[in-house]
Amino acid sequence: MFEQVNKVEGYLSVGIIGCGWLGKALAISLLNKKHSVLGTSSKLENVEQLNQQSICAQKLLLPADTEQLALHDVFTKQNLVIAITPQFKQGRTDYADKIAQLVDAAQQRGLVQRIILLSSSAIYNGLAGNVDEDSVLCMEAEKVQILNAAEQVVLNFPKQDPEQDPEQDTKSGSRQGTVIRLAGLVGPERHPGKFILANKTLNNSTAPVNLIHQNDAIGLIESLLQVESPQGVFNGVSDTHVSKQMYYQVAAKTLKLPPPIFAQKNIIETTRVVSGEKAKKALNYQFVYPDLLDWL
């Protein structure tokens, strides 16, 4: 078992639950800055690959018994980034339950000081026009209900005093749970042009895109990991909101692919534009790729 990593001035102690495409890149970025990192994956082969790449990792499989889960070494870290995916496309509906288990385990262990949940801008499904963190959610879809339930569990995570007996309830009312609602992720190995190869016909040609580059997702997470970072909900999205037709035409051209074909009749037309202004201002964050057309 790992001992708790004591806070060293200027360095972070971070556990990343779910070292997939984004979680792994975050781990590498933090390690390059000399922070202490422990990653997890539900698959043993992924854990072995991470360790081979000098990313200290252990297996963590959910759901699990909460008391046993609380003994996992990842809960010795002062900061916890939850980067597991809901897997809605695989028919899973237990995402909120898994997040609740992780938060309960962190609270039971009593060492985690901050939890950051990487949520999704899909929580705005059913809304139109400009949306931000204060928009009233449309709770008709089960997906939105599940994402919202998961977010609320993290936002209600109470801060633990390192000097306090973890068995005692904190009465301060302070909360150290933060949510980042990430838009569609692009970046290394996720060029949007490749999406065209997997989808011969695309829908909603006039719908605006809401995307964020991997580097900026990591930048926002690292900004929130700073000691005096604000709490609450933040959108992670670039300033690029051109139509899907324009964006994927440019993406195809850069990869020298035939232009995408859009369905003549749109199944669901949306005008939703997700605002990322709050995160930029609150975190004083400057995007590396604010214009994802330029990035293409």
Which pLDDT score, from 0 to 100, does residue 235 have?
98
d(CA 279, CA 73): 31
| Percentage helix, strand, coil for the chain under 3-state DSSP, each rounded to 5 | 35, 20, 45
Question: For residue 274, what pLDDT is reported?
Answer: 98
pLDDT at 58: 98
Helix (H, G, I), strand (E, B) or coil at 130: strand
- What residues have CB less than 8 Å from 225, skipping those under 6 apart? 12, 14, 79, 81, 114, 116
The confidence score (pLDDT) of residue 5 equals: 41
Give pLDDT, residue 6: 43
Q: In the chain, at which residue ranges do the beta strands (DSSP E only) sit?
A: 13-17, 36-41, 57-59, 79-82, 114-120, 130-131, 177-182, 184-186, 201-202, 211-213, 232-236, 261-262, 273-274
What does the alpha-carbon distance between residue 61 and residue 46 come to, in Å, rounded to a whole number?
A: 12
3-state secondary structure of 241: coil
Q: Are 213 and 221 in contact (CB under 8 A)?
A: no
| Residue 54 pLDDT | 96
Task: Note the pLDDT tens digit of each residue in 100-128.
Answer: 999 999 999 999 999 999 999 999 999 99
Measured between alpha carbons, how far apart are the two ends of the chain, in Å? 45
User: What pLDDT shows up at residue 270?
Assistant: 75
Q: How many CA atoms lie within 13 A of 266 on its CB side?
A: 10
Residue ranges of the chain with per-residue pLDDT less than 50: 1-6, 166-173
Distance CA 70, CA 64 (A): 10
Which pLDDT value is given to residue 257? 86
161: left (phi over 0), alpha (psi -120 to 50) or beta: beta
The pLDDT value given to residue 1? 42
pTM: 0.90
Q: What is the pLDDT of residue 228?
A: 79
- Residue 163 token pair: 């000097």
